[in-house]
């Protein structure tokens, strides 16, 4: 069984054929999917998708792009929503200094609010980081010193120093379709050094379709291409790669009942 740890099934790109997308994922061997919250005003929609499907779970959070619209967010709000059935993580949250769609200080403040919720609930924190390596590492270390919490560096494409500092805090890392891109040699190098028991898989669909589907709308059904690339990078068999990543995902997202 493969697990897609990061899908966006509520995205409008899936409005016309969401049921078929989920069915194709199952046919491809994807046994579980975690659909990720990017704005609290979309939470009810994505949570309803999770509640309607036996193999879909959800998170609750605010993407750094959207932080400007949720400056009054409190940890209590996240904690209350996280108590809903089938909510298994906090986020996606973090820092994105590439697009800067929200002011950087606002991104950081909203991110710290999510950290507080993750610490209180014990749920993993799904972290988005882009072109903010030093700032992200500093916040993670500062917050961890205040009290431990579990960290997932989602779709990791940042540098080796942030990876080292996050790994020292026990972070998990997810591998996406970017690993298949021709120009992503640096990313593959990082994947080769990730902690073996803390590597998981994701598509981030409908974005970042892997080779040979690059340029198309991404789907969870394309996850086997990412698994195969991870196996190649690590020198593992497909069976071992599937077993390692599934165990790592269920260990991290431990509110999901094991099959």
Q: How does pLDDT run across 132-184, given as a tens digit for each residue?
A: 999 999 999 999 999 999 999 999 999 999 999 999 999 999 999 999 999 99
Number of structural domains in the chain: 1
Q: What is the pLDDT of residue 186?
A: 97
Residue 155 lies in a domain: yes
Residue 259 lies in a domain: no
Could you tell me the residue range of the domain that residue 170 belongs to?
A: 2-252
Strand 30-35 to 2-7 pairing: parallel
Q: What is the pLDDT of residue 259?
A: 83
- Output the six-digit token pair for 247: 């165990």
* Local structure of residue 39 (DSSP, 8 states): -
Helices 75-82, 104-121: axis angle to 10 degrees equals 50
Residue 202 lies in a domain: yes
Residue 67 backbone dihedrals phi, psi, to 5 degrees: -60, -35
**Closest alpha carbon to 152 in 204, 219, 104:** 204
pTM: 0.98
Residue 258 lies in a domain: no
Q: For the domain that residue 20 is a member of, what is the CATH number?
A: 3.20.20.140
Residue 158 lies in a domain: yes
* Local structure of residue 164 (DSSP, 8 states): H
Instruction: Give the ranges where the chain is alpha helix by DSSP (H).
Output: 18-27, 43-52, 75-82, 104-121, 133-146, 160-168, 185-193, 223-234, 238-252
User: Which residues share a beta bridge with 199?
Assistant: 173
In the chain, which residues have pLDDT < 70? none
Residue 257 lies in a domain: no
The structure tokens 């659909």 sit at 35
Q: What is the pLDDT of residue 134?
A: 98
Q: What is the pLDDT of residue 209?
A: 98
């Amino acid at each position: 069984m493969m697990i897609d740890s990061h899908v966006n099934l509520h995205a409008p790109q899936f409005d016309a054929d969401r049921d078929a997308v989920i069915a194709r994922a199952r046919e491809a061997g994807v046994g579980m999917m975690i659909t990720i919250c990017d704005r609290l005003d979309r939470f009810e929609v994505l949570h309803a998708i999770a509640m309607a499907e036996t193999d879909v779970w959800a998170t609750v959070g605010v993407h750094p792009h959207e932080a400007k619209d949720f400056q009054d967010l409190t940890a209590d709000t996240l904690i209350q929503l996280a108590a809903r059935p089938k909510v298994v993580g906090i986020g996606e949250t973090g820092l994105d200094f590439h697009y800067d769609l929200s002011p950087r200080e606002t991104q950081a403040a909203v991110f710290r609010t999510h950290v507080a919720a993750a610490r209180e609930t014990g749920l993993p924190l799904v972290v988005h980081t882009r072109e903010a390596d030093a700032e992200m590492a500093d916040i993670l270390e500062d917050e961890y010193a205040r009290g431990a919490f579990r960290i997932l560096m989602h779709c990791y494409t940042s540098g080796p120093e942030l990876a080292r500092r996050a790994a020292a805090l026990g972070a998990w890392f997810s591998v996406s379709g970017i690993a298949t891109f021709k120009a992503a040699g640096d990313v593959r190098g990082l994947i080769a050094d990730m902690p073996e028991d803390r590597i998981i898989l994701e598509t981030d669909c409908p974005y970042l379709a892997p080779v040979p589907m690059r340029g198309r709308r991404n789907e969870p059904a394309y996850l086997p291409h990412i698994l195969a690339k991870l196996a190649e990078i690590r020198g593992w068999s497909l069976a071992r790669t599937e077993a390692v990543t599934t165990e790592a995902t269920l260990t991290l997202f431990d509110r999901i009942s094991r099959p």
